[in-house]
Structure 1
Amino acid sequence: MATSRTGLDEEFIGRLETSLDIYGIRQDPSLPPLQQTYMTVRAGQDGSAGSARLALPAFKGDKGDPGDGFLWQGDRTSAELAALREALGTDQRNWAYRNSDNNDLWVWIGSRFVISPDAFGAEGPEGPAPILVGGTVTVNGEALDQPLGTRVVGSDGVYSLGVDLPELPKGEPGDQGEPGSIFSSPDITGGPTDGQILVFDNESGKMVWRDGYLGPKVYNVPASAFGDWSSGLTGTRHIITAITIPAQPYRYRLDFDGSVEVSSILGQTVDVQVRADDPDTGAMVGVAYGNMEATGWVNQRFHAYSPDPFTPDTTGIRVGVVEPGVEQTLHVVAVKSAGLAAAWRVAGNGRSSLRVKLERMP
């Protein structure tokens, strides 16, 4: 039955039946995919048939999000992998296996496996051991003349490397270290006692502890302690003042400086003595001697006094030495030692004073 399409001046001749066969083309994954379509044309009028092939390109789309990495699960056989199809779900997505039967890679994508054939190569034979030779050593950009030495020990792919360095040049001085104790130094012998200092001993070649010289300690008796006093016709002694020297941690001898104003007549001798501990019987350790030939006011000077001889090396009973830890009181006493019975005086005119020096001793 002939038909015509509305609006066109045409007449139906016959019908061609067309079938399309579509094939995917394998190629490198980095290239865009291609498809090929085969179109078969059969003419029903005379039974002849023809065919045509049509290539349909597909274009590469936008880059997708990065995929998740494989979660390696180890080796499985083909039978084990087939059984896993029923056991795995979406929670096991990206689980990866090696098919131990043919080295294929099986990756579960949540609903099925994606298989990459022959993804694992066979393990090759063990290669030869490495050969290492000595190279050069560079210090601050400058290579040393001597090469370094190398030693390789091991087998079965496990080796250890030893390196022998040549003598290196002397480096820059390092940072100063923490201070050490002088008392534990190997260059010092012995241990100190109070007041000792270090000196060099030529015989031992080391520093040794010796008693050192430290300056004298000075106590001053001011002019205000020397009050005005008159003896009358019969007076022979007058205690002017006293000073207490505290106990010291070292031995010392006494020395004195200063002066005192005394008035006497011709033929009289008035001495001003410094006595230790007792103003009458204590040892006289200092004195300002008077002059029998002088008359009127005389300024008499103090100096140290000892009735016994001694030297710097005096041993045994220490002559004139005050021992450590001993407190001592010094009395300043005016004494008429000779002359006529007549009045004499000590002046309080501000021209008298006394300095007591403590000379440290070994």
Structure 2
Amino acid sequence: MTEVYSNDVTVTMRGVGDPIGLPYTVNPLELAERDALIEVREGPQGDPGPQGAPAWPWAWQGDIADFATLEALPLTTADARKAWRVVAENALYVWTGVDWVRFLDAFQATGKQGPPTTLTGVAAAGTVGSSAAAEITGDAPNQTLSITFPRGAVGVQGDPGTAGAIADAEDVADLTDAKDGSVLSWSTTDDLWHPTPHPKLLGPWSIAGSQFAGASNVSAPERVVATMTLPAQPVAYRPIVIAGHLSVKVHIASADDTRIIVEIRLGSATGPIIGFGMPLGAPNSTDILLSPRWEQAITPDSTHATVAANQTATIYISILRVSGSRTYTVVTQGAQLIMMAQPLKDQT
């Protein structure tokens, strides 16, 4: 090979596009003093390179009309990393503190496909004659589509529906623990119907005649002449003496020589008193009328002299001599006691 030039040269290689697709047969070489320029046909685009370092952060300054206006700004190294959008070029310019870095076509390009949005629909009825409206609220991908539909005019009354269970009504409280025989009572506390014991009296129960213990010439100052058992009820209640009478003959020569009364008590002969027979002092066999009586004030909310739910109760009828010392005789013929139960007002 013949040497034509022996000094060092600077070689610059420049890629040349191939719009036709024909291979180059000659790669031109151009010498200018000690510079050599070689044009080489560009090859096909290669695969993407490795992920680069994060972009240089910058502080957004907004829009500016053109580059000339941007250059006129009195920027120093303290303004490094500030960036503007040059409207005339639709380009982004970043100030490095010394010079400008320009990014072409930085705006209005199609972005990457975002995640799909999941819409949750909510419907509401507007006023009669209003217009339909729709609104999307929230941030993607979880958003809510609220649609307001105009409310129509009131239509004609439909056919009667089938009867539903009262327990399924929206204004009825839980009836799981409702007692047998309960009724619904409205509560202003929560605006619901609640189960409550039926206000009617339960019963009646009674004893009569041979269920009383007769006796002659009794000298004891106190004597139990009968007991009766009230069956357990599904609700708590207050035993009520409805009526009754008992014949007692006091062996006296004059009125009020000896006085006899009858007490009706709950649970034992000394339990709370619930009934009473008016005292008499006649010298012959006399009916003592039995009626309700309590030893303290009673209201619908009182728990005095009451029986718990699902509990039996025993009633005691006793004769007491409150004055004198004469003997007395208990006559069972025609004797009777009638009892009923009054459910308590409030129960859970």
Please classify the TM superposition score into its range, dividing by the shorter chain length. 0.3 to 0.5
Q: Which has the larger radius of gyration?
A: 1
Q: Normalising by structure 2, what TM-score?
A: 0.47
Q: Normalising by structure 1, what TM-score?
A: 0.45
